[in-house]
Structure 1
Amino acid sequence: MTVPGTSRPAAAPAPAADPRRLGVHLTGDGADVAVHAAHANRVELCLLGEAREDGTRPEERVSLLGPVDGIWHGHVPGIEAGQRYGFRVHGPWDPDAGLRHNPAKLLLDPYARAVDGEIRLDPAIYGHVADDRLAPVRAEPDGRDSAPYVAPGVVVEECAAEPGPGIGWEDTVLYEAHVRGLTMQLPGVPQHLRGTYAGVAHPATIAHLKQLGVTTIELLPIHAKFPEPFLTAKGLTNYWGYNTLAFFAPEPSYATRSSRAAGPEAVLDEVRGMVSLLHEAGLEIVLDVVYNHTCEGGADGPTLSLRGLDNAGYYLHDDGAPGRLVDVTGCGNSLDFRRTRVVQLALDSLRYWAGEVGVDGFRFDLAVTLGRDGARFSPRHPFLVALATDPLLRTKKLITEPWDLGPDGWRTGQFPAPTADWNDRFRNATRGFWLSDPREASRGHVTGHLRELATRLSGSADLFGHGEVPGGRGPLGSVNFVTAHDGFTLADLVTYDHKRNAANLEGNRDGTDDNRSWHHGVEGPVAPDSPAAEIVPVRERSMRNLLGTLLISAGVPMLTAGDEIGRSQGGNNNAYCQDNEISWIAWETTGWRGDLLATATSLLRLRREHPVLRPDRFATGARLDGDDVPDLSWYDETGAPMTPEAWHEPQRRVLVMHRSGAPWGDADALVVLNGSLDERRVQLPPGRGGDYELVWDSAWDHPDEREPTDESGNGHHVPPGGAVEMESLSMRVYLVPRLE
């Protein structure tokens, strides 16, 4: 097979200074080049010239030396920053053995720091023969040159980043957002910066984040991506970005038009500028990263990078049939973390983003795949051990999505320190107590999540109290959330019982049916002049209950961007392909939306000012260090301690939690929950002896609405043992100043 192009007539390149340092690194009079292709018999570095009008580029090829431990390498003089390049790999074509080398395909360097342009969907980007509908025709190598259709890598200068603000886990509040969706409609952000990296760091965006009180923005993937062909065929795109093309390169489409016009180096500079400006404002940035699979899809997918370099070495496959991929991600392929080069690729990528771009941490998508030794997950997997011991990475925030779709894929609480896990049990218990349980009660059914909710309120010791050291990771090992990018928004949780995903063009079959939501009697939005308008205040109170539970529980809270102002996706609970108003935040802050924003801000201020509302250790239920009260106590609505039998009564819907502030030199906190459909009279426990001061009530539309709501006549100060009237489906937070 021959491919148009020219080979450099000069002698073979000199060896790279360090053949095992993968990627292209400027040094001396050129660059050291190294790429892993263990089964190849020749690898060519392709240096690309300026694009012609037809999209093709002049191409100069240099045959690399090797292999050394499967790595091909060389020092190539004359390479400078801005050079576009790729690889062509010669070797056996044997799909049954998992080998798919095809030199007609220009391959992206997995270590490329930047990419130029975007991939165009065409049969030529497939290693096998595909027809115009991209369906496989023959399992033989396709001879069409893919270079005009793919995005080459770009050589960039290296640099070191300044460290971020270093916010402790005990003070952290995560805010999950999408680069585009966050600012596409944000007032104050200029039109040319909306939906960009620069827009994320614009003063208007920063002002909102700082006023709200979050500390750490967690961005959905910004690695360069390539949408699934089936989405492109429908005129849709992978908006969320969980389909990675390059693990070192930023997604170009999120950059400003001026940066894209200036070239890939300017795109990278915009990302670095975003990180720097956020740090200057005292904010951290965490990246959602997808090392569990790539955009090359299943065996019938395109050949863009890893598949053409070493398909059998990078992708998880059936040991008895190497040509058959094992998919534990639901995305067609899974990276094989039994392989040294796969582990190295992920670690090198993480070090780059932390050390040279300056990000403060990472959230690992489908992290169980990263800890699999084939079918078996191990918390002592070499990759996870490396994260815990790497001098740079162990200092960053490391967050796992602790599940995948493979065997025994649910592993919440089973990852090792210093990682923190997304706690889906917290999400389910909170939604269950405030939404699905009352929904069933309104239909005459009795269900109960009281015991489960108490466990989550107190930090999920059943999940995070175990590990290699006594006490496990503690409550800060739990990332608590009620909503995330995947699923209903906060407003949609109280508005819909059923998903509305028609816009995804999958017949409403996609997305989960386990929403644990409650429309409160009417499906969908309710007009103000509708006879059903009476349910609107209850919906709003339910949102405040969910926020309140999230922000006073032990653990690290995560808000989803826009929930603080009641963002809706119209009931779409799987908006991964909706790069439009369905997913973008509509920044309306008037009326009830403004009240909700004030509530979220007030709760976060309370949390920030009172460490008793964000404990960093598990409670014991005992009196510690001479304290007058236990560090954590539970009471029923009569003010009596909860008995073992009471915890198992499904009809019980009132719970009182008393948390001592003594370990933090703070006031005590009393949280009263009424999850029943009726008003309840609740007698407050004796506590420490001082009056209880009401600081927040979910019955308040606005946190400044501090009118007395109890019968005691004491307004917001209630004596120990005093009784209060609790609105149906409501919660309160009281503080008890310590007596000196």
Structure 2
Amino acid sequence: MILTAPSFAPGATLSGDGVEFAVYSRDAASVALCLFDNDGDKELARLAMGRDETGFHRVFVEGAAEGTRYGFRADGIHSPDHGLWFDPAKLLVDPYAKELDRPFVHDGRLTVFGAETADIVPKAVVTRDRPVALHAPLFRPGGFVYEIAVRSFTMLHPQVPEAMRGTIGALAHPAVLAHLKRLGVDAVELMPVTAWIDERHLPPLGLSNSWGYNPIALMALDPRLAPGGMKELADTVAALRAEGIGVILDLVFNHSGESDRHGATLSMRGLDNLTYYRHVPDRPGELINDTGCGNTIAGENPVVRQLVLDSLRHFVRHAGVDGFRFDLATILGRGADGFSARAALLTEICADPLLKDRILIAEPWDIGPGGYQLGNFPAPFLEWNDHYRDDMRMFWRGDSHMLGAFATAFAGSSDIFSRHGHEETRTVNFLAAHDGFTLMDLISHTAKHNEANGEDNRDGHNENHSWNNGAEGATTDGAVLSARRADVKALLSTLFLSHGTIMLTAGDEGGRSQGGNNNAYCQDNAITWMHWDRLDDGLVEHAAMLSAIRRRFPALGKTAFFTGAGDIEWLTPAGTPMSVADWEAPLAGTLLLLLETMDTEQKRSVHLAIAVNRTHAGQPFTLPPSKGRDWVSLLSASLPETGLLSARAVEIFVERY
């Protein structure tokens, strides 16, 4: 029996005697609710929905219960040139769907007007509200973030049961937890776990999207990653929290997998294209493509803002996550006049009672006009710092005039993050991420090798500031392999000793390679799967030691900028203050710096000495007089006061009392 709608929230809301379904559409002539059997295959009923004064179409279904499978159909004008895509033959997924009964699969019928799609489109599943106990985030700025592609991370893990591999639940397996604990991870950052669809060019190539940056439903977990639904995520978050590890979700609110004009009609396009997506002014049939993915979600629209905020609240309330990383986050601050740090959506996220204490990380760029906004997001947003990435790569590659840039980035990039009057850095330092070369591939290839992606190696970044140490790609040359290993150790040391928040991509601690593929989003196979048996345990141990050092000495992870009043000194390898000439020497590549910090092991204030040598020869260095008994090396366990720093190396010493 259908009753008068009691005006609950968007989506499907359970009450004592049924479910109210509500979906927004400003321009549809009518919207119908479609109910399906428990298998999601047979349509049992098609119910007309009533439109209220706010533009929501609602219907209350008495007797409907948890587990009910449903979708929508929207009828109206089909005129793509006017931005109207109504087609009652298309089953549409609820933008507020909390659970789906199957993954998305691309099919040509999704793009054809009048072609029925109910048999290929996932059905939303009515769920019961099951909030978890909320805790303050474990992660704090200045910590160590470990980026994980959920599926590839455990697909080949020998200790994870085969049935669990590639799922969110596998992250809670004792063997996986042990690895994260060994590394001293403060938070895992999970690449997209919400439901996504393959880009339409991939199935004909026999490829599939393995990263998830092509979403359809913004709240529903992808069934391939979370067969146990939201409970699986909540249980995994709890298991990680019990080990002192937070969880950050990488979410995509900048575009959807419905793509461009030639893409699929699956959800928002078929319900209200003009509301959910941005269009060229006065040309409603032309989508704005500030994302490079075919469409741009209209974050300035109040309906869309509510959807984004409700999605974020959903993952906090029902999984207890520590925070979020926002893909192409400039889109969140875009309006008719371009990007603004005071845009309504950014302001609302920062002020929301449930979100304002969460960790917020922006990827501060898109490809639209004025899209590069590094350093311009409002506090407390942390920001991915590609200047750090590129400057550190160019320094270690041997580029000229890079010592000053190295020091500035090493100390928290004050040139970027202090320019609006801030006294703390909001940098997220990284040397490699999911998008681009792995750390090992960075020092093993001078050029990308994306032939397996089926685009004749045209895709992916062309300039990676990379080098190959004398041979391109795989080699058996012992000298080349030794040089690469030394470079990875030096790069890891640079990252872990840098000022501010740091991020390491899973596997980079052990020399993971993708064979030179720097755009491996479409390789759901051995190219991206983490080969646990191939990880270099010596490199893993080096990363673990660095992480322990970072935790022991708070100055390494603090976010307040250095003042130069005794808290940091920049010295030559001879132990003398750096001069202008020292900084500006074209090939300068050696440096000694002193930091004042607390030693949580000795429980007293101490100095650290960090020696850097990017040259291909050993470098004599002299440590200044210690106020303690002597200096002790934290990475090699030696006790030199003067000595020779190895080629292509970073060393750190502490005063011993």
TM-score (norm 2): 0.96
Q: Which residue of 2 aligns with 1:478?
A: 427
Paired-residue identity, %: 39
Q: Write the mapping of 1:355-504 to structure 2, written as runs, cut at 5 A.
A: 355-374=317-336, 376-437=338-399, 447-467=400-420, 470-472=421-423, 474-475=424-425, 477-504=426-453
1:82 touches 1:155 (CA, 8 Å); kept in 2?
A: yes
Alignment-derived partner of residue 187 in structure 2: 216
2:74 matched to 1:89? yes
Q: Is the 8 A contact 1:89 1:103 kept in 2?
A: yes
Q: Which residue of structure 2 aligns with residue 248 of structure 1?
A: 219
Partner of 1:30: 18
- 1:728 pairs, out of 647, 651, 655, with 647
Task: Give the C-alpha shift of residue 691 in structure 1.
Answer: 2.9
Kept in 2, the 8 Å contact 1:96–1:324? The answer is yes
The answer for the alignment partner of 1:712 in structure 2 is none
Instruction: Tell me if 1:295 matches 2:257.
Output: yes
Matched, 1:277 2:267: no
Q: Name the amino acid aligned to 1:552.
A: L
Counterpart in 2 of 1:617? 560
Instruction: Supply the distance in 1 between the matched residues of 2:168 and 2:609 (Cα, whole angstroms).
Output: 42
2:100 corresponds to which residue?
115
* Cα pair distance change 1:103/1:422, threshold 3 Å: same
Q: Deviations over 1:387-408 (max 9, x none)?
A: 1111111111111111111112
Q: Which residue of 2 aligns with 1:576?
A: 521
**2:589 is matched by which residue type in structure 1?**
R
Question: How far apart are residue 326 of structure 1 and its match?
Answer: 0.6
Aligned to 2:509: 564
Farther off after superposition, 91-100 or 55-64: 55-64
> Within 1, Cα distance between the matches of 2:286 and 2:546?
52
Q: Is the 8 A contact 1:50 1:58 kept in 2?
A: no
Correspondence for 1:443:
none
Whether 1:652 aligns to 2:614 is: no
Letter in 1 for 2:106: L
Q: Is 641-650 or 312-321 further displaced after alignment?
A: 641-650
* Distance in 2 of aligned mates of 1:214 and 1:601: 9
Say which SS state the counterpart of residue 655 (structure 1) adopts.
strand
CA contact (8 A) 2:570 2:591 kept: yes
CA separation of 1:509/1:342 partners in 2, compared to 1, >3 Å: closer, same or farther? same
Which residue of 661, 664, 669 corresponds with 2:608? 669
Distance 1:683 1:76, change over 3 A: same
Distance 1:690 1:372, change over 3 A: farther
For 1:315 and 1:642, the matched residues in 2 are separated by: 53
SS in 1 for 2:318: helix
Note if contact 1:181-1:584 (Cα within 8 Å) is conserved in structure 2: yes
Structure 2 counterpart of 1:547: 492
1:642 counterpart letter in structure 2: M
Structure with the greater alpha carbon radius of gyration: 1
Structure 1 position 278, deviation (Å): 1.7
Match of 1:58 in 2: 43
> Does residue 607 of structure 1 match 2:546?
no
1:147-166 equivalence runs, <5 A: 147-164=118-135, 166=137
Q: Please show how residues 130-169 of structure 1 align to structure 2 within 5 Å.
A: 142-164=113-135, 166-169=137-140
Q: Deviations over 1:569-627 (max 9, x none)?
A: 1111111001111001111267xx111011011111111111132223111111xxxxx
Which residue in the other structure is 1:643 paired with?
579
2:138–2:241 Cα contact (<8 Å) kept: no
Deviations 1:189-222 (CA, angstroms, capped at 9, x unpaired): 1122111122111111111101111121111100
8 Å CA contact 1:84–1:153 kept in 2: the answer is yes
Correspondence for 1:75: 60
1:678-713, Cα deviation, whole Å (9 max, x unpaired): 2222233457576322212xxxxxxxx53x5xxxxx
Q: CA RMSD in A?
A: 1.9
| Contact residue 165 and residue 279 of structure 1 kept, 8 A | no
Counterpart-to-counterpart distance in 2, 1:368 and 1:121: 28
**Gaps in structure 1 of 5+ consecutive residues:** 1-9, 130-141, 260-265, 438-446, 623-629, 697-704, 709-715
Q: Does 1:313 align with 2:275?
A: yes
Cα separation, 1, equivalents of 2:161 and 2:383: 36
CA distance 1:272–1:663, shift in 2 (3 Å): closer
The corresponding residue for 1:178 is 149
Aligned length: 654
Residue 132 of structure 1 aligns with which residue? Answer: none
In structure 2, the residue corresponding to 1:272 is in which secondary structure?
helix
Query: What's the offset of the Cα at 1:120?
Result: 4.1
Aligned partners of 1:336 and 1:374 also within 8 Å: no
Deviations 1:226-247 (A, max 9, x none): 1111101111111101000101
SS at match of 1:192: coil
Query: By how many angstroms is 1:662 displaced?
Result: 5.9
Residue 153 of structure 2 corresponds to residue 200 of structure 1: no
Q: Which amino acid aligns with 2:517?
A: N
What SS does the corresponding residue of 2:580 show, helix, strand or coil? coil
SS of equivalent to 1:362: strand
Q: Can you list the C-alpha shifts for 1:78-107, whole angstroms capped at 9, x where unaligned?
A: 110111111111222222221111111111
Cα distance, 1:49 vs structure 2: 2.0
Tell me if the contact between 1:621 and 1:632 (Cα under 8 Å) persists in the aligned partners: yes
Describe the superposition over 1:437-461 as per-residue Cα deviations: whole angstroms up to 9, x where unpaired.
Answer: 3xxxxxxxxx121101100111111
Matched to 1:598, the amino acid is E
**Paired amino acid for 1:691:** D
How many angstroms does 1:144 deviate by?
2.6
Aligned to 1:681: 620
Counterpart-to-counterpart distance in 2, 1:72 and 1:681: 75
Q: Is the 8 A contact 2:35 2:71 kept in 1?
A: yes
Instruction: Please tell me the residue identity of whatever aligns with 2:21.
Output: V
TM (normalized to structure 1)? 0.85
Aligned to 1:387, what secondary structure does the other structure show? helix
Secondary structure of the equivalent of 2:311? helix
Please give the alpha-carbon distance, in whole angstroms, between the structure 2 residues aligned to 1:375 and 1:231.
35
- Matched residue, 1:17: 7
**Separation of aligned partners in 1, 2:347 and 2:599:** 32
Partner SS for 2:74: strand
* 1:30 Cα deviation after fit: 0.6
Alpha-carbon distance between aligned partners in 2 of 1:58 and 1:224, rounded to the nearest angstrom: 22
Deviation of 1:508 (Å): 0.8
Whole-Å separation in 2 of the counterparts to 1:267 and 1:342 = 24
1:133 maps to none
